Amino acid sequence: MLAAGLGAVAAWNEMPARCYYMPSDFDLQEFVLELMLSSSLVVMYKTNWMYKTNSFGATEILEVLKNWSERSIQVIVVTDGERILGLGDLGCQGMGIPVGKLSLYTALRGVRPSACLPIDVGTNNETLLNDEFYIGLRQKCATGEEYHELLEEFMTAVKQNYGEMVLTQFEDFANHNAFDLLEKYRESHLVFNDDIQGTASMVLAGLLAALKVVGEMLADHTYLFLGVGEAGTSIAELIALEMSKQTGSPIEECRPKMWLMDSKGLIVASRIDSLQAFKKPWAHEHEPVAMLLEAVQSLKLTMLIGTSGKGATFTQDVVEAMGALNEKLMIFALSNPMSHSDCTMEQAYTWTQGHVVFTSGSPFPIVELDGKTLVPGQSNNAYIFPGFGLDVVISGAIHVSDDMLLAASEALAEQVMEEHFAKGLIFPPFTNIRAISACIAAKVAAKAYELGLASRLPHPDDLIKYAESCMYTPTYRSYR
């Protein structure tokens, strides 16, 4: 299933859209949580549907896009439905993710209400194929050359119909396609992969904020990632890039501070012949290590990042071993959903007697420790990608560069204040997310202008005010 959600000026449904988004303006954090938990409901509310087979050629896909009622498209969120969160291949039912993401573009970043155009090319989920009530195409997914031809046709049609300045966000593609597609199109199209780039930028922002509590510089710490998929490797790479920027050292000299661990153990040089290409830059010289506890003790870690999705991997002995090595350690338990979290917030604080900077991929309850109330902070990509999309609009960026990702991380980290740190937070509260998005957009846009990637001229004098002026606000017109 290839599905694309198209961000557009939806004048025909302007009134119900205002009714939908006006409540979110009052409690954005609740809106985000509800949307993450029940995006399928948003699909039913917001989406018109088209189903087409994967035998279409480039001209037919282009005709479908031309037949879409909206002409002013700013953002496309596209998925093939193969890796929906921790749920796997959902076929056409994965459409809730791109629609949900576009709803967040509207609520958090101010893009006008969105319409969605799904193109169904099948599923490999046998349960769905055998389900008499499955509404999608009953055929296996395109693979290999056929799959890449379909994506090429889609990307070509998007550029032909909407021009070069529409942002295409790849969402929930499986590892074996995600890295290849991003690498293939990042120089020729305006593309962004939230699972790779958005997650990395988000985590780097949390790390930059956490260092204000822990102390020292990025290069003074040693990091281990449990889980070597899109998230783990992309986070490690962006941290290494920021470290290279801070120290002036080549990135090759910064990568050895990052250690990655998969199901077969620590990624080390002796395994390099059997590793996938995206894992090879992280194969450092070290004896093989199979267990996480052994890796913690051997590498003398200061930071542990979980992206495996396995659940309960940061056990008490592992966390206590890190606590014995550090006065203040950092634990980012990013695996989703909550039932698969690497450890809970309460466990992290209890096992370290509160000497930890903690964030998670899922929202946890408030923790009371020694008379102090600690508020859970969620590492949520919704902090990053809406502001990134707003940057594209205000700058007319033609490509997304790594330096723009670093700028987004730095801008978000700058929004965390002392009162947030006092509550255990390393991200600002969602209550001010639209102002945060404007700040991120302004800093990323400034970087796009600096790099010569911005096409919207002249350069606005005040990028923050300009970003705010470009935001959609769900209010009714006054006729008096």
Instruction: Report the predicted TM-score, pTM, of the whole model to 2 decimal places.
Output: 0.87
Burial 441-470 (b: 16+ CB within 10 A, else e): bbbbbbbbbeeebbebeeebeebbebbbeb
Closest CA to 446 of 464, 471, 431: 464
290 φ, ψ (degrees, to nearest 5): -95, -30
Say if residues 468 and 109 touch (Cβ distance below 8 Å).
Answer: no
Q: What is the pLDDT of residue 39?
A: 39
Instruction: Read off the pLDDT of residues 144-172 as tens digits, 9 standing for 90 and up.
Output: 888 888 889 889 998 999 888 888 988 88
Q: Where do the DSSP E strands lie in 107-208? A: 114-119, 167-170, 191-193
Examine the pLDDT at 114 and tell me if it is beyond 70.
Answer: no
Residue 123's pLDDT band (cuts 50, 70, 90): confident
Stronger pLDDT, 191 or 92, i.e. the higher one: 191
Separation CA 415–CA 387 (nearest Å): 13
Q: What is the pLDDT of residue 362?
A: 87
Q: What is the pLDDT of residue 3?
A: 54
Residue 84's pLDDT band (cuts 50, 70, 90): low
| Mutual angle of helices 402-413 and 199-214, in 10-degree steps | 40
From 251-255, 321-325, 384-388, 441-445, the region with the lowest mean pLDDT: 384-388
Which range in 101-110, 183-192, 466-475 is most confidently predicted, on average pLDDT?
183-192
Instruction: Read off the pLDDT of residues 302-358 as tens digits, 9 standing for 90 and up.
Output: 999 999 988 999 999 999 999 999 999 999 999 988 889 999 999 999 999 999 999
Identify the three-state secondary structure at position 456.
Answer: coil
Q: What is the pLDDT of residue 116?
A: 37
Examine the pLDDT at 406 and tell me if it is beyond 80.
Answer: yes
Element (H, E) at 101: helix 96-104
The token duo for 141 is: 């997914």
Instruction: Read off the pLDDT of residues 33-67 as tens digits, 9 standing for 90 and up.
Output: 555 544 333 333 344 444 444 445 556 788 888 88
How much of the chain exceeds pLDDT 90, in percent?
Answer: 50
Stronger pLDDT, 440 or 131, i.e. the higher one: 440
Burial 84-113 (b: 16+ CB within 10 A, else e): bbeeebbbbbbbbbbbbbbbbbbbbbbbbb
Q: What is the pLDDT of residue 389?
A: 82
From 92-106, 108-122, 305-319, 376-390, the region with the lowest mean pLDDT: 108-122
Closest CA to 6 of 110, 76, 101: 76
Q: What is the pLDDT of residue 363?
A: 87
Say if residues 95 and 171 touch (Cβ distance below 8 Å).
Answer: no
Residue 321 CB neighbours (<10 A): 18
152 φ, ψ (degrees, to nearest 5): -65, -40
Instruction: Read off the pLDDT of residues 7-43 as tens digits, 9 standing for 90 and up.
Output: 433 333 444 566 655 555 555 566 555 555 443 333 3
Residue 82's pLDDT band (cuts 50, 70, 90): confident
Average pLDDT over residues 182-193: 94
Stronger pLDDT, 92 or 345, i.e. the higher one: 345
Q: What is the pLDDT of residue 128?
A: 85
Residue 245 CB neighbours (<10 A): 16
Residue-averaged pLDDT of the chain:
83
Q: What is the pLDDT of residue 68?
A: 75
Q: What is the pLDDT of residue 73?
A: 80
Q: Which residues contact 30 (CB under 8 A, 6 or more apart)?
A: none
Instruction: Read off the pLDDT of residues 194-231 as tens digits, 9 standing for 90 and up.
Output: 889 999 999 999 999 999 999 999 999 999 999 998 78
- H helices of 380-459, in order, are 385-395, 402-413, 418-422, 433-450
Burial 195-218 (b: 16+ CB within 10 A, else e): bbbbbbbbbbbbbbbbbeebeeeb
Q: What is the pLDDT of residue 129?
A: 84
Rg (CA), the chain: 22
Examine the pLDDT at 80 and tell me if it is beyond 90.
Answer: no
Stronger pLDDT, 71 or 269, i.e. the higher one: 269
